A and B are shown apart, each in its own frame.
Chain A
């Protein structure tokens, strides 16, 4: 019997119940008391009711589940924490949500400066262990984000401009393909799969484990500068000029934020409206301090820049860690000249009436903008800056208001847009072709078609087939 194709699939209730025997019983179906707990992603805005939710712990359990789902006429949607749940929304009714949280293996090889992690491992779990080995990793700005998911999507870290995308550091992945076969992909074997895993976002199988290089960084010069946000324009203008010329050792973010009065924020920030620059410099402290001097000259109210253990960068960006409702919108711009800065501050800064949680500009370029030595679906990011807004509930205007304000920010910088997208920070379903460099996309689609000819795996963004 050939497996059913996407068009002929129809879920069969008995076969659905048959899924229960997989994953040591860690399978939930609609109506189970804990189904609601299990289907809930980190981003609570996504409220989907998958046909089943399963928590496999080993590749063989993933393989069994994948085969079982296909036999039951269901698709499979792999998901880690569910930070990236929104683009999947609406696609899960006939799918098994395969949550990777039980695959918690973490191994650090300090001598070879590599790490191996299971698909359920969060960056926070890795950062501390890597730090203990006196190394650093290209981790995301939030410790509660999953390693594998964010690496599949690219991965911009505090060391990005010096050391490139996290996905370019990936040396091996272990993948369960649509037919249930378990393969290991390296540059030597199944290299297509590894290539697709480097920034291709998935869709070719379930990645159960990933290996990547670590960095010999122990004490980066890192911290945060903050001013009352009435200085937004001056600070943003100075930063954008500084950032455009800063050496690759520097990676930084400018953020316009009306910080909520919440206990998880440090007292210096809590409940205040600020313009913040945070970042890391991988250089000798004296050199780093010299680099920071032009920004310090603006007289920040808060200045925490100093040499600090790499592991302490986990929470540098003060991201909310507990599950919440959020909407991310972002765009890539080639450059941000003074007019651009002004437009941004007008759209999101003081007096803008913005109801967003925050708007920020991430400094790209450097190694992030050059083709990585290791080829991958995403081997660089096309743009000098990433403009990102995050909306959330509990603000005036509701989701509609948030969206209006997010669109306003995006439109304000659109004149400088690079035309490309960084999909990991886009919650609305968009066309993958805008994110993957031309030519790469055809190869990615071909690799997916070979690994998953019947379209078993659900893709967050459109365009692959």
Chain B
């Protein structure tokens, strides 16, 4: 070994020399200058004169010789202390009149740097990165630091500095080739700042921005580059930047980075993949997706389908780490390559409270991108605005408008190309987002939207059934990726650990059970520890790889510098919401250090290397997050909240951390949480709002804020958790002193109790509240009294408990008066005595929309029912209520309108329309939440409609399914009637009578129009041969109906009595036909005509037109049993069916609307938007209408 072998001379920084790892003292500045001059000469001979010039600044020949010689010999002694004097001349060699430096090519760091830089050129990208990093590691500071000002050093320093810049650029370029674009942005920004005139750096920055999906920023950077170059140099950007600009504007595919290259991809050009490239320009499957051919085929099919305009739902289900996310990414890649717009989100456990968090992740980037455009949120999508706005003035009451708005937004996005929405870990999505997804997937038919979701199995699922609802969507395709096979695992191992031994690979597979995440993390750990992939190290594989993923990651993290650990924890805490400065602040590190740590974490595959900042896998995040103690975690969340607040983050972002911070009774915390709740409520994310407010209550708030908070919380809870709402509101109520506020709150409590409280609770509470109110608050008292009465009726309490004393008199025209008028009208209707008074009161109640504003939940519907029972035309009211519900965004209001309008349509015999209305209502119900009260009405109405249509089986099904609904109360009462009708239709009169005897609570209903139990009872008795009993009931029925006097009900009652009497009943039937002709009940009239027309006593001249009319009208109504009976009667008489028969069924009003709008030139989507329908429904309606039109020749 030669003595100079251990010697390194270093000039990239302070000039010094290192021998065997130890820095050697080379003496004073002048002495070292001799060495510097010799190094710069690179082995050329430097004359003594020239050396003297370098040392003393001029050719002071006089001083050359002696001093110079002594410098050289001192240098020799220091560099080679062990050699004898004669042996020391082989590093600084005397050649003729001068000296030369004789050391190996690698002995000078600058030379080594140059060699390494050059060697990097031919390497594949990952090798290049390594080599360039090594080359740059030679630098410790500016070259020849202390001689930089000397003229003889200047050119060399400039040359080396330029080479260093080139090396940096090439390193960036190589890393960009490896797909690290997003991570490079901050680094490139800094470098551009250092040297803004280097066009190559601008080019790399712009490319990195573009590839990171930041086109806007890329273009802005181009503008900055142009500005700087013109300002500073007076020149336009060069050709490279100009062509880049063109490509960015054109979104040229040439700019797309490769999917992150793996070393194995580069080692040699790979042979063409086995399968031919898929059509539509799909790229071949990347090499890191092994063993997934079947899954890829499914993804490819789904993408092809969406390209052909047919959307769908794809669910990827499996255990943690099995490769769901990777498939999701692949779906996105395939779709993007085929020109599909791809929007993605990843839900996380920490952000579960974030109302519409997932939805915002999906759409926000796009909306921000088009900030000044606004077309996406126009039209029907307007309802979605609150989701994306930072300030919401007017909290919407429900979610319907928002849901529909988001749905419209989705539709709008498909205007120019198909859409892929992907959600990773949907099991952690917030309730509001799940609600939207559930709403959306039912409407994918005919929409070019592919929804891809991943669900981790073996996780506790969110309590509400929304996720289940979403995943059980019958049209969904479900993928279950399996563990990797031994061959696939071998491929994965060998991409990183080249030439891995068989036994080593087998242990990797066995130890990880083929779980791709665990396997990759294991291989990464083995690689970073430098474990050779040989048979000797199989035990290391087992030792590391048999840990759970989380602990394997922690093992790696614990072996990293502390800064990396802190940064990882910061990212685990704030994740996607944060940028570098925020992470640095949270980790309490300088920015550069945090950036380095981020880079390290990303290179180590702990963080993903594309934005936003996040871990490669939620399990990894979990591991890092849970590695700190619970107490420490709370403090870190508190710090995160403070940091985000200082940085002006949204209240919700701050609140997410406050939820997990220690409770300290801090007023500011309460304020932030309330603000966040307000925002969430404004978006219709009620459950989030409730979460925030509950946390605020735990803080606890200052005493003076407590009542407000309780009220806010209780109001929110009343929509999602009535029991809690009542408890909180009652607490606030007992602390309130202002009578008006108390009364208002009491009404909220009573209404909530009406739906969730124990039977009688609402009534009792409202009565007590009415009692307690001071005399001057008359309107409020009236409101409370109305609630006493309506809840008493709803809950079927004994009437004497809620209708005590004299009937109340109305005072004034306030909301309370309207409410009281509504319930009074309803009571009069139920009593069935004074129709005109009832109608007057109902009209007063409904006037000026006061009631719609004050109480659409409980009292508006009864008032409308009164008018309906009195045969007053209420179609305007429905329209009105519908638009009111839409403006208010209240899903509850919308579904009550649908339910009761369906009821009205049924009453009037428009069975198809009725069924459509009820179908809409039932679809909205699960989205709203369980609602047994509305549910029993809905089920009963639907069963009744089916019966009228002659579909007994469908009716039986609905009633069977409805058994779980409320058994006591008004809904149960309606159900009881329909059950009896069903029994009759099934030929089981006894069962019908039994059904009518079911206990549904106390009702004292004098108006058979409202409680028509006598009709099924009379028919059942008749069928059993108890004619007397039947006739008595029918007569009593008619008598009572005459007292009420509404034609539709009376007419139907007369038909019953007439039919039971046989030939003697003809006058009654004739009267029925006359009366019904003046009523809105088309079907009732048809039934009366049929009853009369088929009596043999009626002459043919009278009967045939009656029967023909009956058949025609019944057909319009969608009532086959009446049609068939009428046709049969006509046939008996040998008469032709009449013209109507050839015309086939008429279109329903909805079909008519759709056809008219289509004829007016609107497309399916526009029609759907106009009519509040889905494009799929519009499509179906058009098909059925077309079939009918074919029959009629329209």
Q: Which of B542, B547, B559 contacts A24 (CB 8 A)?
A: B547
**Is A252 located at the chain interface by the 8 A CB criterion?**
no
Please provide the chain B residues from 256 to 283 with a CB less than 8 Å away from any CB of chain A in the complex: none
Q: Report the interface size class on chain A.
A: 35 or more
* Inter-subunit contact B535/A322 (CB<8 Å): yes
Q: With A and B bound together, what is the CA distance between A307 and B550 in angstroms?
A: 48
**Is A219 located at the chain interface by the 8 A CB criterion?**
yes
Please provide the chain A residues from 69 to 109 with a CB less than 8 Å away from any CB of chain B in the complex: 81-82, 99, 101-102, 104-105
**Is A111 located at the chain interface by the 8 A CB criterion?**
yes
* Inter-subunit contact A26/B507 (CB<8 Å): no
Shortest distance in angstroms between A120's beta carbon and chain B's nearest beta carbon?
6
Q: With A and B bound together, what is the CA distance between A288 and B547 in angstroms?
A: 50
Q: Which of A24, A321, A323 contacts B548 (CB 8 A)?
A: A24
Shortest distance in angstroms between A123's beta carbon and chain B's nearest beta carbon?
10
Contacts of A24 in B (CB 8 A): 547-548, 550-552, 554-555
**Is B21 located at the chain interface by the 8 A CB criterion?**
yes
Q: Which of B21, B544, B554 contacts A102 (CB 8 A)?
A: B544
* Inter-subunit contact B546/A99 (CB<8 Å): no
Q: Which of A26, A111, A122 contacts B22 (CB 8 A)?
A: A111
Shortest distance in angstroms between B1135's beta carbon and chain A's nearest beta carbon?
83
Shortest distance in angstroms between B529's beta carbon and chain A's nearest beta carbon?
5
**Is A55 located at the chain interface by the 8 A CB criterion?**
yes
* Inter-subunit contact A102/B555 (CB<8 Å): yes
* Inter-subunit contact B546/A55 (CB<8 Å): yes
**Is B511 located at the chain interface by the 8 A CB criterion?**
yes
Contacts of B537 in A (CB 8 A): 122
**Is A34 located at the chain interface by the 8 A CB criterion?**
yes
**Is B510 located at the chain interface by the 8 A CB criterion?**
yes
Contacts of A82 in B (CB 8 A): 539
Contact with A along B524-547 (1 / 0, CB 8 A): 000001111011110110111011
Shortest distance in angstroms between A410's beta carbon and chain B's nearest beta carbon?
29
Q: With A and B bound together, what is the CA distance between A82 and B544 in angstroms?
A: 17
* Inter-subunit contact B547/A104 (CB<8 Å): no
Q: A24-B550, A24-B555, A134-B6 are in contact. Are A99 and B536 (CB under 8 A)?
A: no
Q: With A and B bound together, what is the CA distance between A24 and B530 in angstroms?
A: 22
Please provide the chain B residues from 747 to 790 with a CB less than 8 Å away from any CB of chain A in the complex: none
* Inter-subunit contact B536/A58 (CB<8 Å): no
Contact with B along A112-126 (1 / 0, CB 8 A): 000000001010110
* Inter-subunit contact B539/A101 (CB<8 Å): yes
- Nearest A residue to B555 via CB reads A57
* Inter-subunit contact A120/B543 (CB<8 Å): yes
Shortest distance in angstroms between B335's beta carbon and chain A's nearest beta carbon?
37
Contacts of A134 in B (CB 8 A): 6, 20-21
Residue with the greatest number of chain B CB neighbours at <10 A, chosen from A24, A82, A122: A24
- Nearest A residue to B22 via CB reads A111
* Inter-subunit contact A321/B547 (CB<8 Å): no
Q: With A and B bound together, what is the CA distance between A104 and B544 in angstroms?
A: 10
Contacts of B559 in A (CB 8 A): 105
* Inter-subunit contact A37/B547 (CB<8 Å): no
Contact with B along A272-307 (1 / 0, CB 8 A): 000000000000000000000000000000000001
**Is A162 located at the chain interface by the 8 A CB criterion?**
no
Q: A24-B552, A219-B1, A321-B536 are in contact. Are A101 and B542 (CB under 8 A)?
A: yes
Q: Which of A38, A111, A120, A122 contacts B546 (CB 8 A)?
A: A38
* Inter-subunit contact A322/B536 (CB<8 Å): yes
**Is A133 located at the chain interface by the 8 A CB criterion?**
yes
Contact with B along A307-337 (1 / 0, CB 8 A): 1000000000000011100000000000000
**Is A110 located at the chain interface by the 8 A CB criterion?**
yes
Q: A24-B548, A25-B547, A111-B21 are in contact. Are A37 and B555 (CB under 8 A)?
A: no
Q: A37-B510, A111-B22 are in contact. Are A101 and B543 (CB under 8 A)?
A: yes
Q: A37-B510, A81-B539, A144-B536 are in contact. Are A110 and B21 (CB under 8 A)?
A: yes
Q: With A and B bound together, what is the CA distance between A110 and B6 in angstroms?
A: 13
Q: With A and B bound together, what is the CA distance between A101 and B542 in angstroms?
A: 8
**Is B558 located at the chain interface by the 8 A CB criterion?**
yes
Shortest distance in angstroms between A334's beta carbon and chain B's nearest beta carbon?
36
Q: With A and B bound together, what is the CA distance between A144 and B21 in angstroms?
A: 29
* Inter-subunit contact B547/A34 (CB<8 Å): no
* Inter-subunit contact A26/B21 (CB<8 Å): no
Q: A24-B552, A322-B536 are in contact. Are A133 and B543 (CB under 8 A)?
A: no
Shortest distance in angstroms between A422's beta carbon and chain B's nearest beta carbon?
24
* Inter-subunit contact B531/A104 (CB<8 Å): yes
Contacts of B510 in A (CB 8 A): 33-34, 37
**Is A218 located at the chain interface by the 8 A CB criterion?**
yes
Q: With A and B bound together, what is the CA distance between A133 and B558 in angstroms?
A: 25
Contacts of B548 in A (CB 8 A): 24-25
Shortest distance in angstroms between A127's beta carbon and chain B's nearest beta carbon?
12
* Inter-subunit contact B536/A23 (CB<8 Å): no
- Nearest A residue to B559 via CB reads A105
Contact with A along B542-580 (1 / 0, CB 8 A): 111011101110110011000000000000000000000
Shortest distance in angstroms between A226's beta carbon and chain B's nearest beta carbon?
25
* Inter-subunit contact A57/B547 (CB<8 Å): yes
- Nearest B residue to A219 via CB reads B1
Q: With A and B bound together, what is the CA distance between A23 and B1 in angstroms?
A: 47
Residue with the greatest number of chain B CB neighbours at <10 A, chosen from A25, A26, A120: A26
**Is A195 located at the chain interface by the 8 A CB criterion?**
no
Please provide the chain A residues from 203 to 250 with a CB less than 8 Å away from any CB of chain B in the complex: 216, 218-219
Contacts of A50 in B (CB 8 A): none
Shortest distance in angstroms between B339's beta carbon and chain A's nearest beta carbon?
45
Contacts of B534 in A (CB 8 A): 321
* Inter-subunit contact A34/B535 (CB<8 Å): no
Contacts of B503 in A (CB 8 A): 322
Residue with the greatest number of chain A CB neighbours at <10 A, chosen from B21, B539, B547, B550: B539
Contacts of A218 in B (CB 8 A): 1
Q: A24-B555, A102-B555, A134-B20 are in contact. Are A34 and B546 (CB under 8 A)?
A: yes
* Inter-subunit contact B558/A58 (CB<8 Å): yes
Contacts of A441 in B (CB 8 A): none
Shortest distance in angstroms between A61's beta carbon and chain B's nearest beta carbon?
9
- Nearest B residue to A111 via CB reads B21
Contacts of A81 in B (CB 8 A): 539
Shortest distance in angstroms between B1137's beta carbon and chain A's nearest beta carbon?
77
* Inter-subunit contact B540/A102 (CB<8 Å): yes
* Inter-subunit contact A104/B6 (CB<8 Å): no
Contact with B along A17-59 (1 / 0, CB 8 A): 0000001111010000110011000000000000000010110
Please provide the chain B residues from 813 to 837 with a CB less than 8 Å away from any CB of chain A in the complex: none
Q: A102-B555, A122-B536, A219-B1 are in contact. Are A57 and B543 (CB under 8 A)?
A: yes
Contacts of A111 in B (CB 8 A): 21-22
- Nearest A residue to B537 via CB reads A122
* Inter-subunit contact A321/B535 (CB<8 Å): yes
Q: A101-B540, A102-B543 are in contact. Are A25 and B551 (CB under 8 A)?
A: yes
Q: A24-B547, A26-B546, A219-B1 are in contact. Are A133 and B21 (CB under 8 A)?
A: yes
* Inter-subunit contact A99/B551 (CB<8 Å): no
**Is A143 located at the chain interface by the 8 A CB criterion?**
yes
Shortest distance in angstroms between A22's beta carbon and chain B's nearest beta carbon?
10
A-B complex: 5 closest residue pairs judged by Cβ atoms: A24-B551, A101-B543, A102-B543, A24-B547, A55-B543
Residues of B within 8 A of A (CB): 1, 6, 20-22, 503, 507, 510-511, 529-532, 534-537, 539-540, 542-544, 546-548, 550-552, 554-555, 558-559
Interface CB pairs A-B, < 8 A, 16: A24-B551, A24-B554, A34-B542, A34-B546, A55-B543, A57-B543, A101-B539, A101-B540, A125-B530, A134-B21, A216-B20, A218-B1, A321-B536, A322-B535, A322-B536, A323-B535
Residues of A within 8 A of B (CB): 23-26, 28, 33-34, 37-38, 55, 57-58, 81-82, 99, 101-102, 104-105, 110-111, 120, 122, 124-125, 133-134, 143-144, 216, 218-219, 307, 321-323
Excluding A34-B510, A104-B531, 15 further A-B contacts by CB distance (< 8 Å) are: A24-B550, A28-B546, A33-B510, A34-B546, A55-B546, A57-B543, A57-B544, A81-B539, A101-B539, A102-B543, A102-B544, A104-B540, A216-B20, A219-B1, A323-B535
